[in-house]
Amino acid sequence: MRIRIVDTFTDRPFTGNPAGVLVLDSETFADDDRLQRIAMELNLSETAFAHPLPPGGEADWALRWFTPTTEVDMCGHATLATAHVLHTTGTASGTVRFAARCGILTATTHPDGAITLDFPTAALRPATAPAGLAAALGADPLSVHDTGPHIGDLLVELSDEATVRGLIPDLVTLADVSRRGVVATAAAEDPSRGYDFVSRGFFPRVGIDEDPVTGSAHTALAPFWSARFGRDELTGLQASARSGLVRTSLRGDRTLLTGDAVTVIDGELLTAL
């Protein structure tokens, strides 16, 4: 069984967010424990598993995602990585439909290799900052929003880009303030640099201290910042150490996420699924 590691939301190796991808020949997934152990072995923020579905249905592939410690409802960068692998290996072309826990997702590969994901827009809801949030982040929120059932993050607006970049959170405390994680964001200091807003994502509750680039979080960041800027087309920079750009396009209850990807490792799983 081939295992590929793909850097996503970047066109340069060793930047962006790496995801493991296993494209299965079978018509079913292995048992949950086996998938979780493979994800734990790879120890990336997400590992994606996909298998083909019978023709004529509403989706072409079944897709699941695992962090090193748990399965998640939605993952953008590992979906992008899976679409990249299907396209670059000639397994699929054009638009691919995935059946996942959060519904039907599509990924369209463009002639230049960029991939656009069609995801549900997060149901943002203003929230009260939990006790200890400011101390855990090390910054005072300007606003806090819940991102809804499939994401489960708190979206926390901070005063400026420098504050977001300078965060050194208390991850132990932060693990207790949301169902999945905390996404800190602020408007870009200088939009002429090619991005409109910045973010960082911390997910210690699911085994990820800081995620390099979080596609799913941008389904919440897109409506949040589109409402502020009055524009549906934006670019977000996730300001982690690896960094990456996500181009967002708000389409009502759907959000389009566009980014590049590059395969950096192509290996073989030496034990049977």
User: Cβ(48)–Cβ(64) under 8 Å?
Assistant: yes
Q: Are strands 254-259 and 115-120 parallel, antiparallel or unpaired?
A: antiparallel
Residues 22 and 40: their CA atoms lie apart, in Å, by 14
Whether 46 is catalytic is yes
Sign of CA dihedral 1, 7, 162, 256: negative
| Other C-beta atoms lying within 10 Å of the C-beta of residue 168 | 8
Bridge partners (DSSP) listed for residue 256: 118, 249
User: Cβ(86)–Cβ(112) under 8 Å?
Assistant: no
User: Cβ(118)–Cβ(46) under 8 Å?
Assistant: no
Spatial neighbors of 39 by CB under 8 A, at least 6 apart, are 20, 46, 47, 66, 67, 68
Active-site residue identified among 27, 41, 46, 189: 46
Q: Which residues are catalytic?
A: 46
